[in-house]
Structure formats: C-alpha cells, structure tokens
Amino acid sequence: MKPFTFERATSPEQAVSAFAAQPHAYFLAGGTNLVDLMKLGVEAPGHLIDVSRLALDTVETAPGGGLRVGANVRNSDLAAHPAVRSDYPALAQALLAGASGQLRNLATTGGNLLQRTRCPYFQDLSAPCNKREPGAGCSAREGATRDMAVLGHSEHCVATHPSDMAVALAAYDAEVELLGPEGTRTVPAAAFHRLPGDTPERDTVLRPGELVAHLTLPASPAGARAGYRKARDRASYAFALASAAAVLALDEDGTVRHAALAFGALAHRPWRARTAEEVLVGTRADADTFARAVDAELAAAEPLADNAFKVPLARGVAVRLLTGLAEPPQPAANRSAGV
C-alpha cells in the first residue's frame, strides 16, 4: 500500500472542498471495497477524506411520501428499518443477499452504490485492463468469461457491476442526490451507473469531486408487491450469477397495471428491463406472459464464450420472481407452515 494523507471531514460541504484542494483525493466511508483495492494496488489515493462520521446516517420520510436515505446509513440498518421491510421489501432482500453480516454492519449505502467490479482481471495488476488503464486492452474478453456480462458490454470491457442493492434501487425508480463543487443535483438510480462503451474506466456519471449524499425512494404504486431473487454459486456471501428485482401491481381482474424489472450481474450496470415492462403493462399476469416479456428483454443478450448459461438462468430467476409476486398473498398461518 502506498503512503497517503488523511483528514476527517466535518460537513458534506467541507468534504467536497477538501476533495478539490488535494490531488488524487478519494472519499472514504465504510472502506469495505476501497481498502481492499488499495491493498491490491488497484487504487492508490494520495489523500483520503473520511466522510463516515458525517450526519448522513438517517432514514426519513421524504416530502410527498417515500423515504430519504442518508449515504452513511449502514447496510444492516437499512435492511432492518421497519419502513424498508414493509414498503420496500425488494431492497431489504437485496441488502441481506449482498454480503456477510459483518460487512453489512460496516458498509454504507453510498459505498455500496459505488463499489467497483469484482472482475479478476481488474483486480490483477499483471493483466491488461481498460478499466484500470485505458487503452491497455481487456483480458477478460478472451479469458475466463463465466461471470462476465451478456448485455451492454463492449469490445473494451465485459465486466459486471456487483451490487445487489443497486438492482433493487433501479426497480424502485430511486434517485441519487449528489453534492459537488457546483451544488446539488439528482440523477435516477437506473442511470447512475454507465455501460462501458469506449470509456470503461468510468463506472458512474459522478463528476469530479461529487459526493453521494442521499438516496430517495418514491412511494410505491398502490397495491404493489415487490421482491428480489438471486442465483449464485453458494447460498451465503457470493456475488450473483444472475439476479432480478421486480415491482408489480395488478388490477382486480389480474391485468398488470405497473411493472418494474431490473437485472443484476448481467451488465456493467444494473439493467432496467424497459422492453419487458412495455410487454407486461396491460396484459394478463401469468407465467406465459412473464416468460414472453423476459424473452423480449433478453433477446438483446450477446453471451461470451463461457457464459451463455446466464441467459436461461436470468430468465428463470425473473419469471419465477414475477410469478410469485402475482400470486395472492398467503395467510400468515399458511406461510409459517410452509404451505
């Protein structure tokens, strides 16, 4: 690990000013990803600005309904928050699926959103990687591609984004509030992360010196049900091979009134399934309709040498999730009995 200087920010505005005053500055919150990358030599900040003690650690009711979540809210606290569990179950489920309990106790909401890819070529300094060093080449494209992208990748990068939480945020139409040298701005969570294109070194739309301050979750549509499903190699603490978050609201006759679907582990960013949603709205909610909608979305997939299995896997995850959400809720006694 290379030497660096360190300071603790006293306010969000002071943190942004400190970033502008120092070369190679980084914000540090929980450190569960950045510190690992520093140890590997992938990241080498010259100056760390500790923002972990800023007063951005509350979950509050947003004006007009919904929730406003501070960037320093710990993942464990957000997953356990009563309003999240009752009104945004897909978010709670995604957070609980995302890491070990120890990591959730330390990781922050903002840090989760900003974590970098777990592509092994990105983490290996001996392997050329356009994300680490633009123009170096992409070792993953002709290497082991089992865990790589099947949607939205480019010749310059085939890495996937690892966050479970970000997939749920995309399905909920959340917004990310950013504080920077030019003031505050808000971007949709579904548009916060980028596809690689010709600049895979840029993971997000963050501008230099911007700090993630809050997330806002809008009020859910009336009668909506939501959930998150994840397929992975083992049952605990593993990154997704394919995942899906969905929000579904039906009319009394079983017609889909609202549908939001997002995939994880298939692309360089959480993949909002707009094509599938267009197919779903106004149609009958059943397994055949869900399969047809998901197939329309995944028709754009371009699997690599080792990961064609991700397409049917993602299809199964999404169809099963949507089918479960469309079923009438079971009485509590039946659920406890496993009926």
Supply the pTM of this predicted model.
Answer: 0.95
Q: Which H or E element spans position 43?
A: none
For the beta carbon of residue 194, count every other beta carbon within 10 angstroms: 17
Mean pLDDT of 30-35: 95
On the question of pLDDT at 43 being above 90, the answer is: yes
Give percent above pLDDT 70 in the chain: 97
| Rounded Cα–Cα distance for residues 242 and 239 (Å) | 9
Which two tokens mark 35? 């510190």
Mean pLDDT of 292-302: 98
pLDDT at 236: 79
- Mean model confidence pLDDT for the chain: 95
pLDDT at 164: 98
- Read off the pLDDT of residues 150-187 as tens digits, 9 standing for 90 and up: 999 999 999 999 999 999 999 999 999 999 999 999 99
pLDDT at 332: 54
Exposure string of 144-162, with b = 16+ CB inside 10 Å and e = fewer, is ebebbbbbbbbebbbbbbb
Q: What is the DSSP string of 158-189?
A: ------SHHHHHHHTT-EEEEEETTEEEEEEG
On the question of pLDDT at 22 being above 70, the answer is: yes
pLDDT class of 63 with cuts at 50, 70, 90: confident
User: Phi and psi of 84, rounded to 5°?
Assistant: -70, -45
Q: Which domains does the chain have, with CATH numbers?
A: 5-52 (3.30.43.10), 225-326 (3.30.390.50)
| Rounded Cα–Cα distance for residues 107 and 101 (Å) | 10
